[in-house]
Amino acid sequence: MQNTDNPITILLVEDNPGDARLAQEALKDGGIQNQLFHVVDGVEAMAFLHREGEYADVPRPNLILLDLNLPRKDGREVLEEVRGDAELARIPIIILTTSQSEVDILRSYDLHANCYITKPVDFDQFVEVVRSIEYFWFTIVTLPQVQAQG
């Protein structure tokens, strides 16, 4: 069980500001303390994870919510890179995208995403999804220990 003293850190990689805000609102409604970071493309995401430049002092996220279709570097590449990096490989990655294409789903699992969720059209459903994510990943599941900061 997650220690509720430490707020959970979630990295949201999403280029659509509307969707990002929705995720934010849904997480707020969720009830589990969390610290949400948001980046808008794959390049920013990698910078964040490698703690480069403006992201020098950020914590390592406990969970990544990753959209697939992103500018500059898309989610598929980010997925591949994270999984290929020994330091980052353990972080659970949830693909949260509009695409329902078989190809995308299979590829994501092939690249070892933890799971694939299609964004629901309905906000209520979206809240449910986000709540489920929170509940599952932060209450039920035991996450690997995150390396200490610094």
Partner 1 sequence: MPACIDRAGLKMEKHILPITIVLFSLVLAFDLYSHLGIAAGIAYIPLVACGLWFPRNTMPLVFAAVATVLIILGYFASPHAGVSDINVLVNRGLSILSVWIVAVICLEQKRTRSELSESEQQFRLAMEHSAIGMALVAPDGKWLKVNHALTNMLGYTQEELLTIDFQTITHPDDLDEDLQFVTSMLAGWINHYQMEKRYLHKQGHIIHALLSVSLVRNPDNSPACFISQIIDQSARKRAIDDLKQSNRELEQFAYIASHDLQEPLRMVTSYVDLLARRYQDKLDQDASEFIQFAVDGCKRMSRLIQDLLEFSRVGTHQAEFVMVDSQAAYERAIKNLKVAIEESHCKITCTDLPNVHGDANQLTQLLQNLIGNAIKYRHPDRECQISVEASVINADKVQFNVRDNGIGIEQKHFEKIFDIFKRLHGRNEYEGTGIGLAICKRIVESHQGKIWPLADEQQGSCFCFTLQQAKTSQ
Provide the β-strand partners of residue 116. 95
Q: How many helices (H) and strands (E) does the chain have?
A: 5, 5
| Shortest separation between residue 43's beta carbon and partner 1, angstroms | 22
Tell me the per-residue interface mask from 10 to 49 with partner 1, x by CB under 8 A, - otherwise: ------x-xx--x--x------------------------
Instruction: Give the residue, chosen from 1, 103, 121, 140, that forms a contact with partner 1 under the rule CB under 8 A.
Output: 121
The SS3 of residue 36 is strand
Nearer to partner 1, 114 or 118 (CB): 118
86-105 positions binding partner 1, by CB under 8 A: 98
Binding site for partner 1 (CB under 8 A): 16, 18-19, 22, 25, 98, 119, 121-124, 126
